[in-house]
Structure 1
Amino acid sequence: MTIPYTILTTVGSVIAVFNMLIFSAAFELKQNTFSVEKDKRIISNNNSSTSKIFYNYSALECAVECVNEEKCHAASYDKSVLTCQLCLNTSEFFSYALETTSGWNVLRKVGKNNIKELKTPIEADCYLDESWNYNGHVNYTHSGRTCQMWNLQSPHSHSFTSEQMSDFHSNYCRDPSHTLTPWCYTIDEHYSWEFCSITKCDTCQQVENIPVGLTVKYNMSYGLLGALYSCKSFTANESTDHCPSSICQSDGTWSDFSISCGVDDCYNNSSTYRGKVSCSALGTTCRRWDSVSTHDLPSDPADHPTNYCRDPKGEGRPYCYKGANDWEWEYCHVTKC
């Protein structure tokens, strides 16, 4: 059967409009206009006049509907049965009651009058579904390096093409390789590529109560979000075994961490670091050096039966081996003095 060209054109236009709405929602998210509250559902709203329900919707499509509905201040989304319920309000002020319901999320639209109620997201940019569908405008890595344009082959060459990427003529963080975190090549010739600090929208919130004397920064890598703690100052005390990395867990809470602020807990030269960090930056417990088949053992034999981060290869940062394979290693979070 031959489908008339006019129908094909109409279908194509609908798809194009839908894609524009998706991009619009991504832009709205970039502007920090949504907050996601996990395992919550709206059960009442004293300003609500009506509601709309949509079935077989993704979370992103639900957000799109709310973006394009002027009176929508929030939506309840059931990810188990793909149901979206918009909460429409006649007042600019948004008040409602929530109940704890597993599987539901509240997508809350931030207005100028209720923005103070919200916890601060870790980044203004986020993605609702998969990292490779991220369409925001962040163009720098987690370390602050500017991204290289995707259509350039310098300073770093690559094999990605315009057929694979719709915004090939930009330097926005993307995930064309499906590594679970948006990333980019950098304009720094010494750093080929790095991940960008872009999280999933329903991930952990910023740490609210940072212990006195500590600072925290966030790192996104291979789909894992870490809160990395550092000491503001160091004492004359000896270093103690610690792991200063806290990881965002599936329930939206942060894992435990430990920290030491002794004289050896920072470094000027990574090859001479003598502190006792014993986990990678992603919180993975390091392997003992004498359990790894490698020629790059620490120069001090006393380190061989330990799992403390060291830099025997001269990488410029302390690292350690992890996992079952002898080739698996990762940098550790250790502060420079």
Structure 2
Amino acid sequence: MGLHFLVATEPPKIVPELTCTTGKGGHYRGTIAVTKSGKSCQSWTSQTPHKHNRTPENFPCKGLVENYCRNPDDEKATWCYTTDPETRWEYCNVPNCRYQPAAEDCMHCTGEDYRGKISITESGHTCQRWDSQKPHQHDYVLSILPEMNLEENYCRNPDGQPRPWCYTTDPSKRWEFCSIPRCTTEPPKIVPELTCTTGKGRHYRGTIAVTNSGKSCQSWTSQTPHKHSRIPGNYPSEGLVENYCRNPDDEKALWCYTTEPETRWEYCNVPNCRNQPAAEDCMTCRGEDYRGKISITESGHTCQRWDSQTPHKHDYVLSM
């Protein structure tokens, strides 16, 4: 028999499938690393708890990196060894490209208006139905939040998270974010409120940057003194600029993190549009003749009563 040599050419190129599979999933190169029943995958380079020969060296073109679900040996679907000593391997719950969401099944901003039908989390867990209390009990039900469209087991964002999520059917994994593609179209326009708020203040884009108690607001791009996830990258449509009071996560009113290490956050004192002064409540010249009823400063501080000497002592009293 003649000698056989490895040919020093590149292997055939594949088009990696990153979010879904076609056929048996041999081209899948995504990052789902959990089986259909919710077990974590064992790393392909590990021999614990299960010894095997599906290693990157033996299958050099099969994308056996980390512990991601793969199909190196032409099984009927993507799979992995598990970290459960009692379960050697299982198939994975990777979506099939034929059943991928339509182009319009996408999200704007933080996905609070998302009404699509994706029902698998970013690591491959199947979502628990919103009308079920098993395996996880919760209060996010359609009867309490009818406007959030909590149907079936579809990913939703009912509570101001950075993106849609769901409870999972894995008893050991209560909830997880979903991988919802971002829409390529422009998000719905809002009419920014610059001097006052309506409702919970989601549309406020003014410049008040002080809390109810007078504390200065921390910049949304800063992690000092308080670390947080309410950053412009996570809430791209919520106007998180400078340190201005905002409501990115559907709190009951506008708020901000404070610059005081002992106080993480507080609500802000932004006037409500329903209680705004009438058109005639205005000033001429320097306002020395102003007799209106505005009692909040330009940065949101509540005015001290003129007949009070607390917290500031002064001589500007009615009797003088």
TM, length-normalised to structure 1: 0.27
- The structure with more strand, counted as a fraction of residues: 1
Structure with larger Rg? 2
Greater helix share, structure number: 1
